[in-house]
Structure 1
Amino acid sequence: MDLWFLGTGAGRPTKERNVTSIALKLPEPCGELWLFDAGEGTQHRLLHTPLKLSKLSAIFITHLHGDHTFGLPGLLSSRSYFETEQPLKLFGPPGIRKMVTTALDISGSRLEYELIVEEISEGTVYEDGLYKVEAALLDHRIDSYGYRITERDRPGKLDSAKLRELGVPSGPLYGVLKGGGDVTLDDGRVIRASDVVGPPVKGRVVTILGDTRPCGNTLKLAAGADVLVHEATFAAGQEEKAFDYGHSTTLQAAAEAKKAGVGRLVMTHFSSRFRLEDLPELEREAQSVFPESVAAYDLYQLSVPQPARSE
């Protein structure tokens, strides 16, 4: 599971930094690509990564401000150039359907795949056998959501040596045991899954927030997450300005990460007043509160490791 920061700026692009978009590359066997926000120029940034637009299966929009959405029409149109019939799911606040369909209709753009648009509210917005995505409202100038992506726990590893010792023939019975079911052999012996399957592999949790002041739902979404992606538009000492504009500072992001007990904080959405050479100081500010803090830059890539098996 890999996070790619395609744009880490706030408001407008600069020579060093594009506006907001984050890609989440899911591991095999899924192997799909999910996108969180799509500011102007997102598809250009994708071209500088190994990520494939043809693998894009879902887009989650946090809020409708242009620095998070103006790249959508072009990206949706470009996906039609790839030979894929896989539908694309687009999740976002009320208004996202009108925004997208108006742009596509007026421009005469035709999509060669099914676009499924779902306008979200708080709660579970997506769920399948591998992942669950929950959304909650944050505190910004317009409705802004955060997303909690939970990977489901996976069965533990089969003890192949023990299975051979017990005389369990390889094949379908292995699958039953792997799935947690007990099996009965031809000689009447019952092999219990709990005796031959290791502890389950705990799923990863990634929390990606839209623009926000510190708020209670940050902690709800981020509790115990392996990675928290939190905006840090302003630096320490600019709390009043951050509040006025509906944003957070480095220290506030770090405080939220500490309270939520996350594994790592990745800050993004930096004001255009900050240059790349300012990032180390912004990191130091956050690390004074939460040591596992990092300031993202465009094309920064982070692998989310698989947690150890639970006991």
Structure 2
Amino acid sequence: MTPGMVSENNSSVKEFILLGLTQLPELQLPLFFLFLGIYVFSMVGNLGLIVLIVLNPPLHTPMYYFLFNLSFTDLCYSSVITPKMLVGFVKQNIISHAECMTQLFFFAFFVIDECCILTAMAYDRYAAICKPLLYKVIMSHQVCFVLMVGGYTVGFVGATAHTVCMLRLTFCDGNIINHYMCDIPPLLKLSCTSTSINELVVFIVVGVSIIVPSLTVFISYTLILSNILRIHSAKGRSKALSTCSSHMIAVSLFFGSSSFIYFKSSPVGSVDKDKISTVFYTVVVPMMNPFIYSLRNKDVQIALRKTLKKNCSLK
């Protein structure tokens, strides 16, 4: 513990040192440029998709309304985690207690919000494929709005619960966080007070925000696949699958990597073995989502060509 990191009565840490992804000096610079590139691609991809959806009326549908919110969430999500991570590759990464709690809050908020958006997108695909005649009624503007407000509300409540419980802890056993961000498990390892309430909140909030969405997504896609198998035309089956394949990939990547971190025997277990999985769903997935939804999406490709052609003609 370094001088000045702990208060005078030695009861409360005022600043933390983030160890980062690795301590090997020869990897610091290559990893800095790697994750800088990922961050730039993430920003460009998500911001580009947001602009594309806003500028093209044909994309003003429930599916792209949710995709707009997903891109916005990924944009903010990356900015909460990656810049501070990049600092750790070039110098000692010190973060104040207040900054750490702020990062924890927004990290939890956007993670939970992304779970809710992916769930809403699965429900949208279910309505489009299984209830096509009632689709406009089921996925009306009011329903889409309520789903998104509900998602942001669940994210806010969950993030507030995690942060408030973390604020009640005293950190007096050290100020070195074996991670590149202020995540819950490594912070709980530093506490010298009981973390039983925090662990309970982790299981409740993470359980609700991952188990419930996962079950909803699973049920939605079970019904979707069952409906697709009843389509006699091979072309019809292929078209139906293509409309939800991108979302299935995105859901698998996000829920798979995030579940690995939190569904363990203890939320305060080894952190080192979890860093790669955490990097995957906090840094890599937000970059991949815009490409997953655009490379296999004809509507997005047509809108992109029209937008580029319009911009070229204006020049």
TM-score (norm 1): 0.28
The answer to which structure, 1 or 2, has the higher relative contact order (CA under 8 A, 6+ apart) is 2
Q: Which structure has the highest helix share of the two?
A: 2
More strand by share: 1
